[in-house]
Structure 1
Amino acid sequence: MIKLLIADDEPLVLAGMKSMLPWNRLGLEICGTAQNGQQALELIRQYRPEIVITDIKMPVMTGLELAQHCRAEFGDLPLFIMLTSFEEFSYVREAMHHGAIEYIVKLELTPQSLEMTVRKAMEMVAKIQNKASSGAPAASLQLFRDKFFTRLCNNMFENREQFCRQHEDLGLQFDAERYVAASCSITNVKDISAQQQLTLCSSTVSMVQDILKKLCTCQVTILDARHFNIVFWMTAEQAYDLEFQNHLLQTASDTASRYFSVRLLCGIGTPVEDPFLIAQSVYSARCVLAAATEAQPVLNAQQDLADQNALFDFSAYRLRLTKAFEELDGTVLEQTISDIIDSLEGHPSRHIQALDAATNLLYMSLSLLPEGETLLSNIFADHPDGYRSLYKYVSTHQCCEWMRQLRDGLCQNLKSQRKSYKKQVVENVEAYIRQNIRKRLTLNEVAAAFNFSPNYLSQLFAKYAARGFVDTITSEKIAAAKVMLAEHDMKIYEVAEALGYESAFYFSRVFKKETGISPREYIQNTSK
């Protein structure tokens, strides 16, 4: 049973709320009521409710102050639903910044609207509790999904097979008739700190996603503190219905403006039938986003197909870049980035292609290099916004200059750390193997965890490790097996199962090949 607390300084409102719904049948228990914020805080400390419905304006401590205090003291729970009057709407915006999930206008309160809001809160409570009980895996899955969509939107998959394998592993379904991407920029942001910008972006994107998912299946991916992409799953009819698409993004823009006093500029891309080609829709969305204004915040690429340039073919350079990053080969990296710059410089109309290329280079640098964030911050330390200054550039020349600075900084760093880095990579992989020794690890899985190709990781072990990749896993598993057999008094079949072997018989064969004696003989020797 989920516990609910109701706080309002009007006794009639409290009585009405308590009797408005069959709370027990909804799975809710009213653990208390309060007539001011301080009293509510004391009851929250005593009963730890998961949901609080509170008036914004109350004596002693306001509902807004109550939400702020609870967020700092208790974290994600309780969730707050705010009761408000029309004239208090400015307070609602601030409440949303402090974790309030919804508001209810008192004059519009009905049993139906209250039940709908409370059910939404109950669903969010369940998600938070599931996340807390499952720990890191749920968060890690979302991180991997975000990373997947970042690569998809930037045309970063090496081939279709890699795309299919990863979306299947992540449980992502691409079963729509068409896919349409939107590229969005958050504007009208007040002068706040970088951390506050990130918080504002996260809150804005979260609310936009909640609103849009009620209208159309979508995935929202944050790019930085002011930019994010949306990929929509659409029917063939929706994909060419410009009014429907513009309504989606206009709704998102209006919501962001209402709750967070920011504006969204949105570019909607052309539809694609093949999900592997979503990058093409993203590209066309970014092209029209560059022309969006506050007067016309939502633009659709389908309205101006004639002026679109060809998609920048980053795949022509991606394999060379990936190998250069993996091997820390500054020479190849320098030449490849120089080739990209040469193909773009001198063409003012290719600003979007130049920005697209620079964004791809930025993503690869951050994801493929150890301490990539620190390294890029140092390279662009002379820029007020660091490497994120890229997103302010409005010309091909500026983007090319940014890529030159990136190239020179990376090459200088890579040449100085090439050998030591490869040894460190091997040590990191060995540590990963020990941490996951109970799993059935394969070369493909471990390579994917470190963003390497299987062949490259195998070569690293052959050159810089004491043993090959497979032999390393075998050695670590047998070392773990010895501890289990000698110190934990486990049976042979239990050890085999714990370490991911298909049978005790096969485990015994591997153990004897590695140590010269069988597991049973090892147990007898250690018990003497």
Structure 2
Amino acid sequence: MYKIIIVDDEPIVREGIRNRISWADHGFECVGVSENGQEALGMIAHFRPDVVMTDIYMPFMDGLELSRHVAEHYPGTKMIILTGYDDFEYAQQAVKLQVTDFILKPITSAELREVLDKLKVQMDEERGHLEHLNRLKQQLNESLPLLKERFLERMATMALNEWEIRSKMAYFQIPLSGPLFVTIATDMDEWPSEDQGTDNELYSFAVYNIIQEIMDKEPDSAVFRYKGNKVITILSGSGEEEIYTLAQERAEEIRASIKRYLSVTVSVGIGTICRELKDIRHSCRASVAALEYRLLIGSDQVVSISDLENRRSKPLYDGAESENSLISAIKTGSPEDVDRSIGRIISELQNASISIEQCYVRVLRTMLAVLQALLEIGCNETELFGKETRLLTELYSFRSLEEIEFWLKDMCGKAMIGVAETRRNISRNQISEAVQFIHHNYDDIELSVKMVSSRIFMSASYFSSLFKAHTGKTFVEYVTGYRMEKAKELLKHSSLKTYEIATKTGYQDAQYFSVLFKKCTGDTPTEYRQKMMVDGA
């Protein structure tokens, strides 16, 4: 829908044009009318119309001056001149101002609709042509760099033959003369959070751009984005020591420059040296693998896969003691002990020279031990951690031991909450069972704390404290109160003697029953019955 504004100093003309045309039927929307060119300028600035239909002769600013201003500031806007002056000079000026149409008044509705339909066809064609040109221009600007990156990524991941590699390198003008090659992989350690108002795509491009600028100093190099947000650099050289030293220097320069200019850290991995272009994929895989070791040695580092593979291995203790301490802390509900146990586990991993896989296995084993303990207690894993929680998926997404430590503390914190809630539910169910037992056996003279607590497999002392916590009353207070309520019902609705009611409510001594009843109600059983009879009458 194209927007149109009508400018005419005659109210009858402008309102007549606006009201006589069904604009939407012709693909237009009349967004406003104005009585002079000066007033129309503000309206044009606000609505940015596609078409301005204006009278040529108006006070303050005439149609030609308005057209001149629109042509200068809004070159894409179409101008239609309406005039009652059949003046060739005006027509010439209108043509010079690239006015779309020049129409003599008076004009009928049919004629105006015809002008609008013709104008819409023209504007549709122009818009389609412009969009097509923009698409071609965009494709032209983007295709070669994109195809070049796609080729480099294919070369870094797939087995291509030597002829294909060399022909494509010549086509894209990639300067890797060799005879030795090595790759450098760069990856952000942590992306800024969304609440900081940052654009990750912008950061990704900035990292790529910095690396490109650094590698511009090396004529025998290539830079491309790899599998999302990683950036791979290929270097070539003539000697192993030379190319390895160069890779170390450029990797350190990349790390330091990104930290300085973007205030974020990256890890940089150096792969193995290879002698064939087709083997660059092996060096690339090695450089990416080197990045994974930041999990153990920390972020903001330059990591060479060769150094890691040659290091001596230190033993890793089985960790059973640390895991048992963690589970015990979760069960006792001690956050301090939980944090301390997790810290010990992370410290053991940091101090041992192990592979990434061994690290993941150890952490996963710890979490499985925690889940097993929760299962034994009766906790619901799904309720605690959510249906979407996938331990392996989450674990393999972490980039440092600090992240794993934070994750373990979060998971174990939820586990503690689950243990406490499960125990509360179990206790609640046990006390509920005890209350039901009391309600069914309140008439038993032998009813006692020991009898009820043994019924729910709980010590008498623990039962007593738990019972009061859940009911707000001691065992004796609750039983006495319940028995007195039953005694009231019998006094009100039966003709049983006091000693009979005492027996039916668990009291062998009728006199003791009467004393208790008066203490609870303020009346003797006889007085209470008499009051109920009066109230009933």
Q: Same fold (TM over 0.5)?
A: no
TM-score relative to the length of structure 2: 0.31
Bigger Rg over Cα: 2
